[in-house]
Every structure is written in C-alpha cells, then in structure tokens.
Amino acid sequence: MRGCLILCALGIALPTFANAQVPKPKSKQDSVARADSIARADSIALVKQLEKELGAQGADTGGTAAAATQGPRATGGYMNIGFVALTDAGLSTEPNVGAIQVGDHDPHVNGFSIPNVELTLDGAVDPYFKGFSNIVYKLDKDGQTGVELEEAYVLTTSLPASLQLKVGQFFAEFGRQNNQHPHAWSFVDEPLVLNRMFGPDGLRSQGLRLSWLLPTSFYAEALVTVANATGGTASSFRSPDSPEIHGGVINDRLVDRPSDLLLVPRFNTSFDLTETQTVVLGTSAAFGPNNSGPSARTEVYGVDGYWKWKPAAAQAGFPFLSLQSEAMWRSYDAAQRIAEANPAVTLPAETLKDRGMYAQLLWGIKPRIVAGLRGEFASGDPGAFLSEVRRDRTRWSPNFTWYPTEFSKIRMQYNYDNRKGIGTDHSLWFQFEFLLGAHAAHKF
C-alpha cells in the first residue's frame, strides 16, 4: 500500500516538475494548466482517500514509520555489537571438576577455563521488530572451541493492547535467572536447582512467546511460551540426556499434537514498597512430554522473588542490598522402560519428584564492590534408577566482586559443596570478565 502512496506522490510531483522544466506554447498553456490542476486535485483526493482507508485499517501512513527507522541514537549504525568474555580459574578438592560444576558455563577444570564468550548483536529490524542474537563460544576441558547459537529472536514493538510477541530461539521466561546470560549472574556458577530442572544450559528452545502487560496500576505481566520440547536444552523433557534422569532407553516421539510441544506460562508482578525499595514476585510452570515413554509427561513449577533496597542518593548505584530466591518442583512421570545400562532390566512406571531452591543476598558495600552469599539445596525422592543428577545436595557460596568499571569485573568465590552419600568438597574460583562494544542495559 505504501507503494501506492509513493506512486501517487510521484503522480503529483512529476507533472509539476515537468511543467517547471518544459515551457509550453502560450495558446495551450491555460488548458494544460487547467488539466494539470484537475489531475492534481484528483491525485490529492485519491491520496486523501487512501490515507483515510489506510488509517481506518490502522496502517502506518509513512511519517512515523520513516521516522522510526532512524533506529537507536546511542551507538550509531543499524546494529549494536557487544563482546563479553569470561575467564575462570581455581581449584577444587574434587579432581573431576565436571562432577560438581555441572553448568555449561561453570568452570570445568582445576586451573583455567573459558566457559563463556558471547557475541551479542541487536538492533531495530524495521519499525515493527527488534532483533537479538547471542552467539556463544566456549572452550571445553580439552581446550577445543565450541560454538552455539544461544539465542536468535525477534521481538515485536507495536502490537496493540500491550501485547508483545517473541519468535525464534530464546531462553524460556521461567523464574528470574533462567533467561539471564552468564555475564549477568551474581555468582560464578549456575544454581543447583536450575541445573537440576533445566540442565547445564538452562531451558531454551525454538518457539514463540506471547506477553501481555496487564492494564493495572502496578506492574503485572502474563507470559506464555510455546516451544519445541526436544533437544539438549529441554532437559526435563525430550532431551537426549534424559536417561540421566530416568535411566531408561529413550522413546523417540514425533510431534503430532499440540501437547507434544513445551508450554511455559508465567506471571510476574512488582511493587515499589517505598521510594527506595522494590519487590518483584513471579510464578512459572513448564509442561511438556518427556521421552521415557509414548505418553509420559513432565511438569515443573516455580516461584521466585526479588527485593532490592537502594538509597535515593546512591553513588553509581551503590550502596544497595538485594535478595533473590527461586524455588522449583518437578513431577516427572517416567513410563515403564527398558534400562539403558542393562536391556534385560525393565524399570517400573513411576513419578519422579524433585525439588530445590536457592537464595542469594547481595550487598553493594561501596561503589563497584559487592559481597554476596548464596545458599541452595536440591533434592529428589528415590526412584528405581539411582540417578546422579537427582542426588540430594547442598551448597553454600560466599563471594566478593570488584567491578573496576561497568565493563570489567573480578570475582572470587568459595563453594562449600555437600553431595549426600559422597561427601563435602571445597572449591575456590576466580573469575575475570571484560566487555567490548555496546553494553546492553540489565533488566531489574
């Protein structure tokens, strides 16, 4: 339709231009001028009619769209580019560090690890969409480079009724930390309960997410994600690593009905308790099929909270005090299945119940210096298969972070880590991060 407008505009402009350039014989000039005038009036009427019709359809008539494509003023160009690199170093009393640091972006070895280097790209696609991409490079314990497309999605900017759609590959909005990238974490490693419910990379998949900002006087947002339930980043669902949970041979399933997809609803709300204190509360769930049997399903539920105090005259955001906590429960219906370790053994149908939580307190003591303490546990009821990833575990992690600027940080963290039936390990980790290019502002 915009093309019609351009043609109409050209229809108006070209005769005018032609008139200005080509002198006409005097005898014909009046009649030509009259004809031009009629043609111009017709064209203007047509443009007005089109504008009216387009306006009635809620379409953009050009002005705002053209202006909106000016894009962000901040760093110029059409795309913001950022590069964040994390280097970990340290020692643990557990020689097989991978057995206790189970997150994909945790330190993996005694010595040095580079578990997360992110290339972030974002910008306005056009007046209607924003695009985001996060490509992760990492070195494994043998120093081999791995690359993964962590996120790539578009976000709508102008849906009516305060709706917003996200489409692509992205972290599911479940709880507070699942959709945060490692450089935004306040601790060196992934919380145990997130690892237990969503695996070493968190819950992310390909799909779409619809969000509605409710018309309330306070912040209230309802979100629902529909995504594929397959792959290594859908750990409690149809992941190739699921035998670690249920111990059986994988039952491959195709997607032949909507319930074969992953459904992640979430409700999030926030209140400013005082001028200096804010609380955010959320509740989430994830429903989807698992691969222990042809109709086996998993349900994960979670509640989360965040409270922050910051004085009205804080210096560079300091001092502050914040408390963040998440609790999760999983009900994993494992079908009757053949044991992966021994095909002669059949494991019975059962419901595997797991739970866990973490709470982390951060104290921004003075500008650029933060002390933190995290306490966490994860636990699973016994099942027919003795799973290492369902073992009861408790961890305490005091840490200390110095941010020389917003673009670098140095962190030290101690982990007191108790695995039931195995014993207690002690780890000391250091982390260094640097950031180049655009620094995406962090969400609250």
Phi, psi for residue 420 in degrees, rounded to 5 = -60, 130
Residue 204: strand, helix, or coil: strand
Q: What is the DSSP string of 95-115?
A: SSGGGT--STTS--SSEEEEE
Q: Which of 270, 283, 331, 418 binds another protein (CB under 8 A)?
A: 270
Which residue, 15 or 71, has its beta carbon nearer to another protein? 71
Q: Which of 3, 25, 76, 343 binds another protein (CB under 8 A)?
A: 76
In whole angstroms, the minimum distance from the beta carbon of 367 to another protein comes to 6
Task: Give how many residues touch another protein by CB under 8 A.
Answer: 55
Minimum distance from residue 201 beta carbon to another protein (Å): 23
Closer Cβ to another protein, 32 or 66, answer by number: 66
Q: Candidates 157-165, 228-236, 288-296, 391-399: pick the segment binding another protein (CB under 8 A).
A: 157-165
Read off the amino acid at residue 135.
I
The binding track of 230-269 with respect to another protein, each residue x by CB under 8 A or -, is: --------------------------------------xx
Q: Residues 93, 164, 283, 331: which binds another protein (CB under 8 A)? A: 164
439 contacts another protein (rule: CB under 8 A) = yes
Residue written as tokens 């209230």? 220
- Using the minimum distance from each CB to another protein, give the nearer residue, 316 or 371: 316
Q: How far apart are CA 378 and CA 45, in angstroms?
A: 70
To the nearest whole angstrom, how small is the minimum distance from the Cβ of residue 160 to another protein? 9
DSSP string, 146-196: EEEEEEEEEEES--STTEEEEEEEEE---TTTTTS-GGG-SSSS--HHHHH
The smaller minimum CB distance to another protein, of residues 120 and 230, is found at: 120
Of the CA atoms within 13 Å of residue 187, those in its CB half-sphere come to 27
CB-wise, 23 or 218, nearer to another protein?
218
Please pick, from the candidates 119, 188, 280, 384, the single residue that binds another protein as defined by CB under 8 A: 280
Bridge partners, 202 (sequence order): none
User: Within positions 408 to 437, which residues make up the interface with another protein, using CB under 8 A?
Assistant: none
Q: Which of 66, 255, 386, 410 binds another protein (CB under 8 A)?
A: 66
Please say which residue, 139 or 264, places its beta carbon nearer to another protein: 264
For 268, the enclosing helix (H) or strand (E) is: strand 262-272
Of residues 87, 157, 180, 206, which one binds another protein by CB under 8 A? 157
Assess 3 for contact with another protein (CB under 8 A): no
When the beta carbons of 68 and 359 are compared against another protein, the nearer one is 68
- Please identify, using beta-carbon distances, which residue of 271 and 432 lies nearer to another protein: 271
377 vs 26: CA distance, rounded Å = 95
Residue-wise DSSP of 14-44: HHHHHHHHS---HHHHHHHHHHHHHHHHHHH
> Is the torsion defined by CA of 229, 232, 237, 243 positive or negative?
positive
In contact, 277 and 307? CB cutoff 8 Å:
yes
- Which of 22, 67, 254, 344 contacts another protein by CB under 8 A? 67
Contacting another protein (CB under 8 A), which of 68, 81, 361, 389?
68
* 21 vs 274 by CB, closer to another protein: 274
Counts of helices then strands in the chain (DSSP H, E): 5, 18
List the alpha helices (DSSP H) in 239-397: 243-246
Tell me the C-alpha distance between 179 and 150, whole Å.
Answer: 11
Q: Which residues of this chain interact with another protein, rule CB under 8 A?
A: 64, 66-76, 124, 127, 130, 155, 157-159, 162-164, 213, 216-219, 221, 268-272, 275, 278, 280, 308, 310, 312-317, 367-368, 405-407, 439-444
